[in-house]
Amino acid sequence: MEKEKTEESDSKPTPCGASESAQEQPSPAAAKNDEKTPDPTVPAPSGSGTKSKQTAAPKAAKKKKPKAPKDANAPKHPLTGYVRYMNENRERVRASHPNLTPIEITKIMAEEWSKLPEDRKKPYLEAAEVDKERYNKEISEYKLNNEAKAKAALQNEAQMAQKKELSEPKVAVSSIPYVNGKVEPKVLRQGDYDIPIFTEDFLDHNKVVDSELRTLRKSNIDYEQQNSVLEKHVENMENGIQKLDSETSSLESRNAVLESYLLKLRTTLANALQGLPLSSDCAGATVDNIDQYLENLHQMADSSTQGHTLNKAKDIIRKLDLQNLTL
Residue 109 near residue 90 (C-beta atoms within 8 A): yes
Please write the tens of the pLDDT for every residue from 281-324: 677 788 888 888 888 878 877 776 667 777 888 888 888 777 77
Residue 176 has φ and ψ, to the nearest 5°, of -120, 115
Residue 168 has pLDDT above 70, yes or no: no
Among 291, 302, 301, 298, CA closest to 269: 291
In 3-state terms, what secondary structure has residue 154? helix
Does 135 fall in a domain? yes
What is the per-residue pLDDT for 151?
Answer: 86
116, 145, 163 - which closes a domain: 163
Letter for the amino acid at 216?
L
114: left (phi over 0), alpha (psi -120 to 50) or beta: alpha
DSSP 8-state code for residue 191: T
Min mean pLDDT across 98-102, 128-132, 145-149, 164-168 is at: 164-168
Among 303, 315, 248, CA closest to 275: 315
Task: Kindly state whether residues 212 and 114 are assigned to the same domain.
Answer: no
Task: Kindly state whether residues 218 and 146 are assigned to the same domain.
Answer: no
Task: Kindly state whether residues 156 and 204 are assigned to the same domain.
Answer: no
Q: 195 versus 153: which is more confidently predicted? A: 153
What is the per-residue pLDDT for 213?
Answer: 92
Cross-strand partners of 175: 185
State the greatest distance between any 2 C-alpha atoms of the chain, in Å, as a whole number. Answer: 229
Q: 158 versus 188: which is more confidently predicted? A: 158
Residue 127 near residue 82 (C-beta atoms within 8 A): no
Please write the tens of the pLDDT for every residue from 225-238: 999 999 999 999 99
Highest mean pLDDT among 39-43, 92-96, 154-158: 92-96
Please write the tens of the pLDDT for every residue from 235-269: 999 999 999 999 999 999 999 988 888 888 888 88
Q: Which domain holds residue 274?
A: 200-318
What is the per-residue pLDDT for 61?
Answer: 60
108, 142, 163 - which closes a domain: 163
Highest mean pLDDT among 114-128, 266-280, 286-300: 114-128
114, 137, 163 - which closes a domain: 163
Please write the tens of the pLDDT for every residue from 209-219: 889 999 999 99
Task: Kindly state whether residues 211 and 158 are assigned to the same domain.
Answer: no
Residue 9 has pLDDT above 80, yes or no: no
Q: How far apart are CA 79 and CA 88, in angstroms?
A: 12
* Helix residue ranges per DSSP H, 65-117: 81-96, 102-115
Task: Kindly state whether residues 277 and 212 are assigned to the same domain.
Answer: yes
Task: Kindly state whether residues 225 and 302 are assigned to the same domain.
Answer: yes
Provide CB contacts within 8 A for 106, sequence distance 6+.
86
Q: Name the pTM for this structure.
A: 0.32
Residue 175 has φ and ψ, to the nearest 5°, of -100, 135
Q: If you average pLDDT over every residue of the chain, what do you get?
A: 75
Please write the tens of the pLDDT for every residue from 194-208: 677 778 888 888 888
Task: Kindly state whether residues 210 and 310 are assigned to the same domain.
Answer: yes
What is the per-residue pLDDT for 87?
Answer: 92
What is the per-residue pLDDT for 198?
Answer: 75
What is the per-residue pLDDT for 241?
Answer: 94
> What's the Cα-to-Cα distance from 299 to each of 37, 139, 148, 305, rounded to whole Å?
169, 91, 83, 9
Q: How far apart are CA 299 and CA 302, in angstroms?
A: 5
What is the per-residue pLDDT for 280?
Answer: 66
Does 250 fall in a domain? yes
Q: How far apart are CA 42 and CA 34, in angstroms?
A: 14
Name the helix (H) or strand (E) containing 306.
none
What is the per-residue pLDDT for 68?
Answer: 66
Please write the tens of the pLDDT for every residue from 64-99: 667 667 777 888 889 998 999 999 999 999 999 999
What is the per-residue pLDDT for 170?
Answer: 52
Task: Kindly state whether residues 217 and 305 are assigned to the same domain.
Answer: yes
Residue 203 near residue 152 (C-beta atoms within 8 A): no
What is the per-residue pLDDT for 179?
Answer: 45
Min mean pLDDT across 132-141, 199-208, 274-283 is at: 274-283
What is the per-residue pLDDT for 305?
Answer: 65
What CATH code is carried by the domain that includes residue 119?
Answer: 1.10.30
Residue 173 near residue 188 (C-beta atoms within 8 A): yes
Number of domains forming the structure of the chain: 2
The number of helix segments (H) and strand segments (E) in the chain equals 9, 2
